[in-house]
Amino acid sequence: MTSKHLIALDLDGTLLTDDKKISSRSKQAIAQAKAEGHLVAISTGRPVRASIQYYRELGLNTPMVNFNGAFVHHPDVSAFGSYHTPLDLKTAKAVIETCEAFQVSNIMVEVIDDFYLRYKDELFVEAFTAGRNPIDYGNLLTLLKDSPTSVLIHPQENQSDSLRNLLQESHAEVIEQRVWGAPWSIIEIIRAGVNKAVGLKRIADYYGIPKDRIIAFGDEDNDLEMLEYAGAGVAMGNAIPSLKTTANFVTGTNEEDGIADYLEEALNLAVK
């Protein structure tokens, strides 16, 4: 058997097809990798509530990276620990004040798996809450009492660049910014120094897996550090150009079973 590898899977645009499903071929390849002794972990920008169903569908028993590394935990094994790296509350409120000055379309503040919304918006709720209701709506500067895991900003059209530039000038040393692509233009703010690679390293250290036996798949800028950290950083065929340049390998798209293609060949899987 090939030496035990740790396989890190981003969700949107990577493991998931465009209709947010796991293809049967991807599922089969992942199941075979697990059967042959490899470890498979989800590493996503999503909160737990919006990723746990895929974790269960794949039958995983590994820690999970959520919020791009701001929350790392094992859904079923408390002995792994729970690692939460939130934004400083004062910094979060300063970011929210800037957004209020810009009169952005909406702001969502996450505190692990609880969340608050600036405005009630049914489309936004449907897209981002995974069937859960916010703790509250309204003035986030008043509602927010705890240091948040992340702040999601939905800017108005053509606002994103100017808002991102101002946030960078004002808070560059204490925040990380990520951008979500279509169909939503979202700016995500998390604590500086937090990324998927930090979470993945924690999992690799827990299992004693060296970097050269880590395979990581991704498609967006929030996957950059993870692909750089992994011994084999694999960009999807639909990945942004900068990620393809950084990656060690480029595979097929999320609609073409790119994950299965790579795993079957790299791990010499005995796929039936």
Catalytic residue annotation: 10
H-type alpha helices, the chain = 24-35, 52-57, 89-102, 122-128, 140-143, 160-171, 196-207, 224-229, 241-246, 258-266
The Cα-based distances of 267 to 30, 119, 165, 259, 261 in angstroms read 11, 48, 43, 12, 10
Which H or E run includes 191?
strand 186-191
Is the separation of the CB atoms in 187 and 163 below 8 Å?
Answer: yes
From 201, 194, 243, select the one nearest 221 (Cα to Cα).
243
Residue linked to tokens 């604590």: 191
Instruction: Find residue 9's DSSP bridge partners.
Output: 42, 217
CB atoms under 10 Å from CB of 249, counted, come to: 16
Is the separation of the CB atoms in 216 and 263 below 8 Å?
Answer: no
Is the separation of the CB atoms in 250 and 233 below 8 Å?
Answer: no
